[in-house]
Structure 1
Amino acid sequence: MLEVEGLNAWYDESHVLHGMHFTVREGELVTLLGRNGAGKSTTLKAIMGLLPKRTGSIRFRDQELIRARPDIVGRAGIGFCPEDRGIFADLSVQENLLLPPVVGPGGMSIADIHALFPNLKERAKSPGTKLSGGEQQMLAIARILRTGAKLLLLDEPTEGLAPVIVQQIGRMIAEIKRRGFTVLLVEQNFRFAAKLADRHYVVEHGQVVDMIQADQLENRMEALQQRLGI
């Protein structure tokens, strides 16, 4: 579904990604793991076209996106949930849900979203400023699901959340995967990611340095802990 090859990206004159190379197959949940500053979040922004200077190849369903604007990337069927969640504070939960355009068939209905995220049904008329961090994260993910996007890029969805909310977010992401969505996940909480992912790419200094299948984790834990500093 997604093929990233030789991806380089810059912030102004700072060269951050140095030939990123990885794939995400349809229906998979794949993580990018690495220490702070490794280039994980930058990779998601580069895929979305949010960085002005990129080279290499980003192919999504055989469509080359390396030169595409963010709106073109979104309409191709890729949804991005940034680390800051991007909730519109002055809009209600319902208005936030309905704001993004539908980009393809197969999106979840409002009823389906309310069943998956019951908190959002209860807070439908509440403005974004009144939501807890966990509710904001649920809303940020839910509004992508309504659009018909097939690939979800999730950047640090558990950042700053209480353990009980982290568990709830984990159950929701597992259900999203079960429903056929494909997920590329950036996550510092390795224990959270390990329970969900089919494969893990380890990122250091803007490059993929290792790939670990879920069934290899137990045998690779010592080396992985050294790389991640956990």
Structure 2
Amino acid sequence: MALRVNDIHRVRYGTFTRPRAETGTEHPRVEVVLGYAVRHPEGLILFDTGIGAADAETDAWYEPSRVPLSQALAGAGLGVEDVDLVVNCHLHFDHCGGNPALAGRPVFVQGHELATARAGDYTVPELLDFAGARYEELDGEAEIAPGVLVVPTPGHTEGHQALVLRCADGTVVLAGQSTETTSELATAFRQVGAARDTGRHDLAPAPPWVARLLDLDPRRVVLAHDEAVWEPA
């Protein structure tokens, strides 16, 4: 049975408040935290696992409102026991928080991202090397299951990655925090498309991965901190 777009389910892990020092404005901004569960014919893939427990200073800074992994999955009609493998877009605490509850499952991550996280001052250590942690380190693009492609999208972190799902009814990209908002992503896609169509070189540049995602002809792109969905015009 082929993977279809309806086999991809949004998982809501709660919210956090980005302080004024990070928004670049005079106001804090509440942001959603989203993951995605994929009912692949060979097993359930979970892309990001939620907001992890952090120290008091981090909680005071971001004011997270957490939805536990089991509760978040239940909202999508799933249980922790259903998950077969994990892909983290990156290893900050709001994306890998549920990993310890999935001990023993393979966690696919870029090797550079894992090395950076282990170097310290990056994430919550208890969310990284917990009992039963099982990392599958990647070096660039990789097909981790039939029709499931990991694509590096560095920027937010050097080891950031997206998950591309080749569905029978169109390609879907789970882009994580490749950009903060769908509007930013749409602008980058437009810039690359216009540069290709016109040959202009004076347009605002976009990261190389933007062109790579466009080449994969996505029907839909979704992000980790924005409920809006990008679709081609």
- Alignment TM class, shorter chain as reference: 0.3 to 0.5
Normalization by structure 1: what TM-score?
0.34
If asked which structure has higher relative contact order (CA below 8 Å, sep 6+), I would say 1
Which structure has the highest helix share of the two? 1
Normalization by structure 2: what TM-score?
0.34
